[in-house]
């Protein structure tokens, strides 16, 4: 563990410089009101390193607390990606006034990055890379790498006379070559390059497929613009993987925990209206049994139990299948195996729950008929939940749809309708026992 | 795009060698019955490269179709991680007989890897690394690297006389150094090393925090055992990120789409019983209004509408908040901001839905009272759903719990109870209008 001084009152510059990660952790935990004091007299260069490790929200808080002159220094010294993150969160006027005062070289760099769509390769790329010409010797290339002062370079990019990307030289090959060898003898063709507008999902998929450390970003003419490193996609991979969580319940993957209410409402309301339609469909099924319910009110009381159980069991089957598809552990060709498993699980879980639930209902109502009805309904609806939970995402994928987007609502509709039908239908058939 | 020959009948070895990724994609799409023929006469070395890009299930299918002698060749030539994946999926007897026939060096390596727990650093690590001594010159170290025939090395590890890990030398520094320099002048301390039993979640978190390319794995005595590279965690990052999907609905994160039914049943049943308890709680609330329902059956019919809407709205707020916490975009300190947003969203969505739903119910029932009751219930339950959906994961995190594990069931209970109470309670108050 790094030393952790009491930084409530001021953050020692030495601490920031030596333990940026630990310092970031502590800043993250500090209440905003204490931060203003703690930042007093802090060194901009050291701070801009630490800020990289802060959450975007906290980084902006820290930035906003800095005096104007220090804001400029941070923007100048921070990695361009952090600077862009900060700038995009500022009001337009603040952003423009800060940009106007920056050194021209930083300003132009940031302006260019800001012009790319959010979550695009243009935003995610690093502009710290080294280019060389194929006819250069290893010695010349190494000198150039040394002068660049870039740390942790993994490749050197070979470009043609007009700046177009022509290949890459792995740094290991460079280390093992003789000084007078030319790069032409070491260069490997670039397997995949992307445009500045390639989105995050495509980048994640590409890096997964190609098993490269990084992917070069080129402009329309094939000139090297930057490099998206595997590292910088850590957050993107997590982000793409968790997007399904939101898509499944009708939330746009672009919505963030602190998006504006207006954005959230606009994106969620249409889905809630679709949900309303399916809820009315479930109500319609219940309505078919109106006379029966009027006669036996206990049925209305037990309705939430049937819906709750089949809904949860269906969600279990759906989650496991969705995740398997996402992680490519199963393909849609294996639908029989997945379905078979969920049928067995649904049947056995249904049988066990039928016993528990039947007993509980018998204790509550002293009615053998009611206990039998809910037990039979439990078996049928668990089975339906297993079938629907496994097949809905597979069928959606087969139809070329994103399995996350509609699966939850289709599933709920099926489990509600199946649950109500099996429960009230069985009750009707066995009404002589109620 | 790579050339894609018709490989339905046999897979050209040249194609496997030159386009392993594309070939894997096509093998993945082939029906199992066609695979047997297609694999006839295939070269084991080329195949073992391609198999790395297959899903675990398909890789095992391919492996099972190979003649015994070729299975041995694949195990011998494949990267140890793939070999372990295949071996762990075989029956014990098959695994032991294959292991017994392997070359001793492969066998010992694989046996050691198999001894580590699944998803541990010991399983995920690569054993392809180069060590050197601090007193070696750059020239000697480069020679050793060359002899190792390892591709894409990023670091050289410096070990002491008794084999303990003492530091790492970045390959870039090696490339830029003079041949007679000693490694002692280049070595950087190892910031973080892990044990063989460190689990995947900790590795992902560590690599995220430390921003390193790889993390060395050491034994109890500090001897270097292997290296977990960032690359090999791609799947692990996705896996950890999507685990919440299952945890939320009471499925163990260890369950896979093709786990055995027995495993799935054992893990899911306890949760379904907890769900049953909360469903009975919802039923209890409905039961409080038994007389009212007996009088107005329409209330029983509309119950699924209220539960469906508040459940979905709650799930929306929950998904956004959970994802924000997971991606560290918000911290629990920002609970006021998150709650504030969801209250506004719940209130406005509730108002809009109250209008739609009230109108629909009026058209269906011609009862102003019933329409008014469902409209008021909609506003109240949407608000409750927003509050619960945002606060439940925040409170669980604050209590040191995994927010995914119980949030869904707590949320459903709250939205059901709040929905039924607000709907039936309002109906009771306004029963003179029904």
DSSP per-residue letters across B124-189: H-B----EE-TTSBHHHHHHHHHHHT-SS--EEEEE-TTSBEEEEEEHHHHHHS-TT-BGGGT-B-
**Last residue of a domain, which of A178, A204, A237?**
A237
Residues of A in contact with B27 (CB under 8 A): none
DSSP assigned state of A116: S
The domain total for chain A is 3
- Shortest distance between the Cα of B96 and any Cα of chain A, in A, equals 25
Structure confidence at residue B7 (pLDDT)? 59
CA distances from A384 to A248, A375, A409 (A): 20, 14, 15
Strand order in the sheet with A155-159: A131-132, A155-159, A165-170
Torsion of CA A78, A82, A84, A87, to 10 degrees: -90
**C-beta atoms of A352 and B255 within 8 A:** no
Residues B285 and B366 in one domain: yes
The pLDDT confidence band at residue B305, using thresholds 50, 70 and 90, is very high
Cα distance between residue A406 and residue A429, in whole Å: 34
Torsion-angle region of B167 (φ positive above 0: left; ψ -120 to 50: alpha; else: beta): left
Which ranges constitute the DSSP H helices of A118-260?
A: 121-124, 138-148, 171-176, 200-210, 234-247
Residues B231 and B347 in one domain: no
Residues A100 and A144 in one domain: no
Q: Which residue positions in chain A have pLDDT lower than 50? A: 1-3
CATH number at residue A230: 3.10.580.10
Nearest CB among B172, B304, B323 relative to A416 is that of B304
B123 domain-assigned: no
Cα distance between residue A418 and residue A350, in whole Å: 14
Best residue of B308, B324, B340 to probe chain A, by most A CBs closer than 10 Å:
B308
CA distances from A274 to A370, B86, B137, B312, B318 (A): 33, 45, 70, 11, 19
Tokens describing residue B130: 């180069």
Structure confidence at residue A302 (pLDDT)? 95
Contacts of B361 (CB under 8 A, 6+ apart): B302, B367, B370, B371, B374
Structure confidence at residue B293 (pLDDT)? 94
Q: What is the pLDDT of residues B103-128, one digit of tens each?
A: 887 888 888 888 888 778 888 888 77
Which ranges constitute the DSSP H helices of A117-193?
A: 121-124, 138-148, 171-176
Q: What is the pLDDT of residues A290-320, one digit of tens each?
A: 999 999 999 999 999 999 999 999 999 999 9
A243 domain-assigned: no
Best residue of A320, A328, A343, A405 to probe chain B, by most B CBs closer than 10 Å:
A320
Residues B294 and B400 in one domain: yes
**C-beta atoms of A145 and B31 within 8 A:** no
**C-beta atoms of A172 and B176 within 8 A:** no
**C-beta atoms of B257 and A293 within 8 A:** no
Mean pLDDT of chain A: 88
**C-beta atoms of A176 and B265 within 8 A:** no
**C-beta atoms of A273 and B353 within 8 A:** yes
- Shortest distance between the Cα of B45 and any Cα of chain A, in A, equals 19
**C-beta atoms of A416 and B338 within 8 A:** no
- Shortest distance between the Cα of A123 and any Cα of chain B, in A, equals 18
- Shortest distance between the Cα of B298 and any Cα of chain A, in A, equals 8
Residues of B in contact with A302 (CB under 8 A): 283
**C-beta atoms of A329 and B293 within 8 A:** no
B244 domain-assigned: no
**C-beta atoms of B308 and A278 within 8 A:** yes
Residues of A in contact with B309 (CB under 8 A): 272, 275-276, 279
In a 10 Å sphere around its CB, with 0-12 CB exposed, 13-18 middle and 19+ buried, how is residue A199 labelled?
middle
Residues B272 and B181 in one domain: no
**C-beta atoms of A230 and B235 within 8 A:** no
Residues B153 and B60 in one domain: no
Nearest CB among B231, B312, B344 relative to A230 is that of B231
Residues of B in contact with A261 (CB under 8 A): 341, 344-345, 348
The pLDDT confidence band at residue B302, using thresholds 50, 70 and 90, is very high
Q: Which residue of A has its CA nearest to B346?
A: A265
Element (H, E) at A229: strand A224-229
Tokens describing residue B203: 């590795």
B248 domain-assigned: no
Residues A145 and A226 in one domain: yes
Nearest CB among A57, A279, A349 relative to B268 is that of A349
Element (H, E) at A166: strand A165-170
CATH number at residue A293: 1.10.357.20
Q: What is the pLDDT of residues B327-366, one digit of tens each?
A: 888 888 889 999 999 999 999 999 999 999 999 999 999 9
**C-beta atoms of B272 and A353 within 8 A:** yes
Q: What is the pLDDT of residues B46-95, one digit of tens each?
A: 888 888 877 777 788 889 889 888 999 988 888 777 888 788 878 888 88
**C-beta atoms of A21 and B241 within 8 A:** no
A123 domain-assigned: no
B394 domain-assigned: yes
Mean pLDDT computed over B230-236: 77
The pLDDT confidence band at residue B286, using thresholds 50, 70 and 90, is very high
Residues B137 and B222 in one domain: yes
Structure confidence at residue A301 (pLDDT)? 95
- Shortest distance between the Cα of B381 and any Cα of chain A, in A, equals 13
A371 domain-assigned: yes
Cα distance between residue B215 and residue B224, in whole Å: 11
Residues B26 and B102 in one domain: yes
Contacts of B182 (CB under 8 A, 6+ apart): B134, B135, B136, B137, B138
Cα distance between residue B291 and residue B273, in whole Å: 29
Residues of B in contact with A328 (CB under 8 A): 55
Cα distance between residue B218 and residue B166, in whole Å: 11
Structure confidence at residue A2 (pLDDT)? 43
**C-beta atoms of B273 and A353 within 8 A:** yes
Cα distance between residue A49 and residue A14, in whole Å: 12
Nearest CB among A260, A293, A334 relative to B297 is that of A293
Structure confidence at residue B2 (pLDDT)? 43
Residues A266 and A413 in one domain: yes
Contacts of B146 (CB under 8 A, 6+ apart): A176
Nearest CB among A269, A279, A321 relative to B304 is that of A279
Q: Which residue of A has its CA nearest to B314?
A: A249
Best residue of A137, A175, A236 to probe chain B, by most B CBs closer than 10 Å:
A175
CA-based nearest residue to B411, from B273, B327, B313, B300: B313
**C-beta atoms of A331 and B56 within 8 A:** no
CATH number at residue A75: 1.10.220.30
DSSP per-residue letters across B304-352: HHHHHHHHHHHHHHHHHHHHHHHTTSS-GGGHHHHHHHHHHHHHHHHHH
Structure confidence at residue B49 (pLDDT)? 83
**C-beta atoms of B250 and A21 within 8 A:** no
Contacts of B120 (CB under 8 A, 6+ apart): B196, B197, B198, B199, B200
**Residue B217 β-bridge partners:** B194, B226
β A214-218/A224-229 pair status: antiparallel
CA distances from B32 to A306, A333, B26, B41, B88 (A): 40, 10, 12, 17, 21
**Domain that includes residue A296, residue range:** 261-433
Structure confidence at residue A1 (pLDDT)? 41
B345 domain-assigned: yes
Residues B222 and B343 in one domain: no
Cα distance between residue A61 and residue A72, in whole Å: 15
- For residue B255, the SS3 value is coil
Residues A230 and A271 in one domain: no
Cα distance between residue B189 and residue A139, in whole Å: 28
ipTM above 0.85, yes or no: no
The pLDDT confidence band at residue B6, using thresholds 50, 70 and 90, is low
Highest mean pLDDT among A62-66, B201-205, B227-231, B279-283: B279-283
């Amino acid at each position: 563990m790094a030393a952790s001084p009491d930084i409530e009152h001021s953050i020692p510059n030495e601490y920031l410089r030596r333990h940026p990660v630990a310092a970031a952790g502590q800043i993250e935990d500090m209440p905003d009101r204490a931060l203003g004091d703690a930042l007093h007299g802090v060194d901009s260069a050291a701070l801009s390193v630490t800020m990289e490790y802060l959450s975007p929200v906290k980084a902006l808080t820290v930035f906003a607390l800095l005096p104007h002159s220090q804001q400029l220094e941070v923007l100048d010294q921070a990695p361009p990606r952090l600077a862009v993150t900060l700038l995009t969160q500022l009001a337009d006027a603040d952003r423009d006034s800060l940009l106007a005062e920056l050194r021209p070289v930083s300003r132009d760099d940031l302006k260019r990055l800001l012009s790319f769509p959010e979550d695009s390769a243009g935003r995610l790329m690093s502009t710290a890379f080294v280019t060389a010409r194929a006819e250069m010797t290893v010695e010349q290339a190494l000198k150039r790498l040394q002068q660049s002062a870039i740390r942790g370079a993994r490749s050197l990019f070979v470009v043609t006379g007009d700046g177009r990307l022509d290949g890459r030289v792995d740094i290991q090959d460079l280390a093992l070559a003789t000084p007078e060898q030319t790069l032409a003898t070491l260069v490997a063709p670039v397997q995949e390059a992307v445009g500045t507008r390639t989105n995050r999902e495509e980048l994640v998929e590409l890096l997964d497929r190609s098993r490269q450390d990084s992917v070069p970003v080129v402009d329309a003419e094939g000139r090297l613009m930057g490099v998206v490193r595997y590292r910088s996609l850590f957050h993107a991979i997590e982000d793409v993987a968790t997007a399904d969580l939101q898509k499944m319940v009708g939330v746009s993957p672009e919505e963030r925990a602190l998006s504006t209410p207006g954005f959230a409402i606009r994106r969620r309301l249409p889905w809630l209206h679709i949900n309303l339609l399916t809820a009315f469909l479930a109500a319609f099924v219940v309505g078919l049994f109106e006379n029966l319910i009027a006669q036996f009110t206990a049925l209305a009381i037990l309705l939430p139990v049937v819906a709750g159980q089949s809904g949860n069991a269906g969600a279990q089957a759906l989650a496991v299948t969705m995740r398997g598809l996402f992680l490519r552990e199963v393909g849609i060709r294996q639908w029989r195996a997945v379905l078979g498993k969920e049928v067995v699980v649904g049947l056995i879980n249904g049988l066990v729950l039928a016993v528990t639930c039947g007993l509980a209902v018998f204790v509550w109502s002293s009615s053998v008929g009611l206990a039998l009805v809910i037990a039979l309904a439990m078996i049928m609806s668990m089975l339906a939940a297993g079938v629907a939970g496994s097949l809905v995402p597979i069928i959606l994928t087969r139809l070329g749809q994103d399995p996350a987007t509609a699966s939850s609502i289709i599933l709920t509709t099926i489990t509600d309708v199946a649950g109500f039908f099996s429960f009230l239908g069985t009750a009707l058939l066995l009404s002589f026992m109620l």
